[in-house]
A = this chain, B = another copy of it.
């Protein structure tokens, strides 16, 4: 049912080329670190978990192509591949996390020969992928318990299978409820300026047989006012220790609108998205992006050339507007400082 966004087949990485969606479903095979670097760079793969998995597989491809006769030579080639892949998306946290994990694995097993080491690296990359699937399935299972037959979920941006290896976070909840036999309808915001909701979420939901309706971002309030929505579920880019959540621009407004219409507002994200070192949303830096993302579309100008633009990529939703945070270990509830700390403590054991 679900698309395998990132997959590993016979020594090659296979990914969905997201730049071609929704027009066509095209897979790309990557055989060398250069292919992975290119795919990351032109956003053929996106979404923090998917980026991490692709980076790990890129390191494996570097090891497989190495001609080194001993482990030391292989280590040199592996480090070189990791360094190179790290330049593709310099701000992606998951990318560096995955590369570090691969290098640590390599260091631990450098006593073995190059072929054994390559096999171990391949196993580690597949472990990262499997862990992602398990985490997403966990989020789906816990979230699905919140949904009833006939519910209608509003979502924003793409927190779906296309952002992870396969199941997604916010959409994992929908998929799990659907698999459990509940009829769930989804309204998806198109999500300006990059339109991930229209291009990716609408596409993957329709493909999974979910009843899906696309709206413009400014229609969410009306749809809630008409009583069409039973809950809002979005993903997260970073969650602070107090539950404040950074996510795609527009999420903060949806949270206010949900509150005004007495609609529950949930965040769905793995525990790894929680940053206990960030005390509150005030500590989360918000990236401002190129004004031309707003001034143009697909090469066509839609606004005056020199008009000033404000284009923040994310916003921060305060914890008080969040009804629950759906994670792989359960749904965390307010007060979040306590429930988040407890979940992280249990997870570390």
CA distance in complex: A280, B138 (Å)? 48
Q: A198, A211, A297, A304 — which one has the most chain B CB atoms within 10 A of its CB?
A: A304
Restricting to A4-37, which residues have a CB under 8 Å from any CB of B? Answer: 22-23
**Is there an interface contact between B302 and A198, defined as CB atoms closer than 8 Å?**
yes
Interface assignment of A213: CB less than 8 Å from any CB of chain B? yes
A307 to B256, CA, bound (A): 27
Q: Which of A91-99, A162-170, A221-229, A333-341 makes up part of the contact surface?
A: A221-229
Which residues 247-290 of A sit at the B interface, judged by CB distance below 8 A?
Answer: 249-250, 252-253, 256-257, 259-260
Q: Does A215 contact B (CB under 8 A)?
A: yes
Looking at A215, A220, A303, which has the most chain B CB atoms within 10 Å of its CB? A303
Q: Determine whether the beta carbon of B309 is less than 8 Å from that of A213.
A: yes
By the criterion CB–CB under 8 Å, are B22 and A315 in contact? no
- Chain B residues with CB under 8 Å of A260's CB are 256, 259-260
A136 at the interface (CB under 8 A from B): no
**Interfacial residues of chain A within 174-191, with CB under 8 A of chain B in the complex:** 187, 189-191
* Contact call A310/B223, Cβ cutoff below 8 A: yes
Q: Which of A198, A213, A312 has the most CB of B within 10 A?
A: A198
Residues of A within 8 A of B (CB): 22-23, 156, 187, 189-193, 195, 198-199, 202-203, 206, 211-223, 225, 249-250, 252-253, 256-257, 259-260, 294-295, 297-304, 306-312, 315
